[in-house]
């Protein structure tokens, strides 16, 4: 894949910042990386998005 490095970079972001919240002007952000959306094979994208959102929501509930 021509853009494989970009997808690898997105995965590295998730690994590096997995449990860290970044704060900017009193607002908290979480960096996540997802596989690229591919219309021919979209399942990996949707599965990763669902898992990330589920995990993020679960983490937020634990922190409140």
pTM recorded for the entire structure? 0.56
Q: Do the domain assignments include residue 62?
A: no
- What percentage of the chain carries pLDDT values higher than 70? 84
In angstroms, the Cα distances linking 3 to 6, 8, 38 are 5, 9, 12
- As for how many domains the chain has, the answer is 1
Q: Do the domain assignments include residue 61?
A: no
Q: What is the pLDDT of residues 23-48, one digit of tens each?
A: 778 888 877 778 888 888 899 889 98
| Structural domain harbouring 19 | 4-56
Average pLDDT, the chain: 80
Q: Do the domain assignments include residue 35?
A: yes
């Amino acid at each position: 894949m021509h853009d494989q490095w970009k997808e690898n970079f997105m995965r590295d972001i998730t690994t590096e910042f997995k449990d860290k919240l970044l704060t900017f002007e009193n607002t908290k952000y979480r960096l996540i990386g997802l596989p690229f959306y591919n219309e021919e094979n979209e399942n990996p994208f949707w599965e990763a998005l669902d898992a990330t959102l589920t995990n993020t929501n679960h983490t937020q509930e634990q922190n409140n």
